[in-house]
Amino acid sequence: MATLPHEMTIEILLRLSVKDLLRFKCVSKPWCSSIDDPDFIKLHLSHSVKTNTNHSLILRHCEYHFFSVNYDSLKTTQRLNHPLGEQKTPIKILGTCNGLLALIDDNGRIFLWNPSTRKSQVLPSTEIEFSSPSIFFPRSTYYGFGYDPISDDYKLVRMVQVHGKNNSYLHSEAKVYSLRSNSWRRIKDFCFYLSFYREFGFLADNALYWMVLKTPQSGNRSLVGFDLGTEEFRFVELPDSCLNKRFCMNMKAMGGYLCLITSYTEFNDDVVDIWIMKESWIRLISWKKSESILGFPIVIPLAFSKSGDKVLFSIALHKFVWYDLGSKRVENVGIRGLPSSFDVDLYVESLVPLMVML
pLDDT tens digits for 89-122?
A: 889 999 999 999 999 998 889 999 999 999 999 9
Radius of gyration of the chain (CA): 22
The 8-class DSSP code of residue 343 comes to E
Q: How many CB atoms lie within 10 A of CB 216?
A: 12
What strands lie across the sheet with 248-254, from one edge to the other?
A: 248-254, 257-266, 269-277, 281-288
What angle, rounded to 10 degrees, do the helices at 38-51 and 6-14 form? 50
Count Cα neighbours of 55 within 13 Å in the Cβ-side half-sphere.
24
Domain 37-348 part of CATH 2.120.10.80: yes
**pTM surpassing 0.85?**
yes
What's the confidence (pLDDT) of residue 232?
95
Beta bridge partner(s), residue 263? 248, 272
Query: Do 119 and 112 meet the contact criterion of CB atoms below 8 Å apart?
Result: no
**How high is the mean pLDDT of the chain?**
86
Q: What percent of the chain has pLDDT over 90?
A: 49
For residues 18 and 81, the model is more confident at: 18
What does the domain layout of the chain look like in residue ranges? 37-348
Residue 1 has pLDDT above 70, yes or no: no
Provide the pLDDT for residue 357. 47
Give the closest residue to 96 by CA, choosing from 302, 336, 241: 302
What is the spatial distance between Cα 151 and Cα 145, in angstroms, rounded to a whole number? 15
In the chain, what's the furthest Cα-to-Cα distance? Answer: 79
Nearest-angstrom CA–CA distance, 172 and 292: 43
91 in Cβ contact with 84 (< 8 Å): yes
For 279-319, the pLDDT digits (tens) are: 899 999 888 766 665 555 568 889 999 888 999 998 877 88
Question: What's the average model confidence in pLDDT over 144-156?
Answer: 96
Q: Give the pLDDT confidence score for residue 222 in this predicted structure.
A: 87
